[in-house]
Amino acid sequence: MTTQTQPAETSHAEIRTLIHQLFRTLDERKFAAAWILDFVTEDVRMETPLGATEGPDAARATEEALARYDRTQHMAAGILTDVDTEAGRAIASWNALMTHVHHDATLRERGADADPLFTVGGHYEADLRRTPAGWRFSRVAIRAIWTKGQPPLGIND
C-alpha cells in the first residue's frame, strides 16, 4: 500500500488558514452543532488561563468563556509551524492579541470609570494531527503574557 503525503508547504498554508478560521469563528460566534470539530480532534486538550478541558467539553468551555463578553476580536501573527508530513503531525505557535469588550451590565456594576476593554497579549502553542477532514488541533494552549483592563466579573474578583 502506498501512502501519499502532502507537500510541507501545503500543510503550512492549511494550518495557517485553520488558525485564522478558528479566530474568525470565535469572533463571529457562529457555533453550529459540533462546530468545534471543524478545528479540533475529538480528544483535544484545551489549556487556557481559566483551566483545561478535554474532548467534548472543549466546545462548551469555549462558548462559556466567550459569553462573558459582548464582543471579541482575536488576531494571530507570527505563525510558526513544524510539520512532519510522513507522520501526519505538526506543531504550531503564534502570537495573539485578544481584545474583549465587556457587557454593558459589567460596566454598570463597575461604575462610570470602568474600562470597556479587557485585552490580552500572549501566544498559542498547538499540536495538530492530519485527519481525513484535514489538519485539526489535538492540543491548544493559550499563554497570557500581559493583560490590560479587568477580566469579566467573577474572575479574580
What is the rounded distance in angstroms from the CA atom of residue 68 to the CA atom of residue 64? 7
Cα dist. 23→53, 58, 104, 156 in Å? 18, 15, 23, 25
Parallel/antiparallel/unpaired status of strands 117-131 and 40-48:
unpaired
18: CB partners within 8 A, 6+ apart: 39, 128, 134, 135, 136, 137
State pLDDT tens for residues 138-151: 999 999 999 999 99
pLDDT reading at 133 higher than 60: yes
Please tell me the predicted confidence (pLDDT) of residue 14.
97
- CB 135 within 8 Å of CB 14: yes
Please tell me the predicted confidence (pLDDT) of residue 6.
63
State pLDDT tens for residues 99-113: 999 999 999 999 989
Query: What's the chain's average pLDDT?
Result: 92
Please tell me the predicted confidence (pLDDT) of residue 154.
74
Please tell me the predicted confidence (pLDDT) of residue 5.
57
- Prediction pTM value: 0.90
pLDDT reading at 72 higher than 80: yes
- In which element (H, E) is residue 139 found? strand 134-148
26: CB partners within 8 A, 6+ apart: 62, 66, 72, 74
Which has more pLDDT, 6 or 120? 120
The pLDDT confidence band at residue 2, using thresholds 50, 70 and 90, is very low
Q: Over the Cα atoms of the chain, what is R_g? A: 17
The pLDDT confidence band at residue 18, using thresholds 50, 70 and 90, is very high
93: CB partners within 8 A, 6+ apart: 79, 80, 123, 124, 125, 126
The pLDDT confidence band at residue 1, using thresholds 50, 70 and 90, is very low
State pLDDT tens for residues 27-60: 999 888 889 999 999 999 999 988 999 998 888 8
Parallel/antiparallel/unpaired status of strands 117-131 and 51-54:
unpaired
Structural domains present in the chain: 8-148 (3.10.450.50)
- CB 89 within 8 Å of CB 65: no
